[in-house]
């Protein structure tokens, strides 16, 4: 990946995080964290991976809110970053944090079972 792509990825991550925290007024969107961004080499498409803190209902409503605000987020990104082409944004929920927490709980449970035996 080129230096330009890495710089644009960093800028996208900062701006989208800021937009989600400060500019969106949708009550469905809870505490959302951008975990990573995959940007194509031509800077035309970006996959934004995010995680949501909360239970299943909070996660589902946050995903709906983000999906409905996708165009608004893209417009704000275009206004702020001054790129020739604003990438098409695809938001994908990243469940890797939940998965790692579940694994940690499983390891703790196994560790406690071994101590008791």
**Domain ranges within the chain, ordered by starting residue:** 3-116
pLDDT < 50 stretches in the chain = none
pTM as predicted: 0.79
Closest C-alpha to 85, from 13, 23, 8:
8
Q: Residue 43: left (phi > 0), alpha (psi -120 to 50), or beta?
A: left
- The yes/no answer on whether domain 3-116 falls in CATH 3.40.50.720 is no
């Amino acid at each position: 990946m080129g230096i330009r792509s890495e710089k644009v990825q960093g800028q996208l991550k900062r701006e989208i995080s800021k937009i989600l925290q400060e500019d969106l007024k949708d009550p469905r969107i809870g505490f959302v964290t951008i975990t990573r961004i995959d940007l194509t080499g031509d800077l035309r498409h970006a996959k934004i991976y995010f995680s949501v803190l909360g239970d299943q209902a909070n996660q589902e409503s946050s995903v709906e809110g983000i999906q409905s605000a996708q165009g608004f987020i893209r417009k704000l990104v275009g206004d702020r970053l001054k790129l020739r082409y604003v990438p098409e944004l695809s938001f994908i929920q990243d469940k890797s944090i939940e998965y790692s927490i579940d694994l940690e709980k499983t390891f703790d449970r196994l560790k406690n079972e071994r101590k008791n035996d």
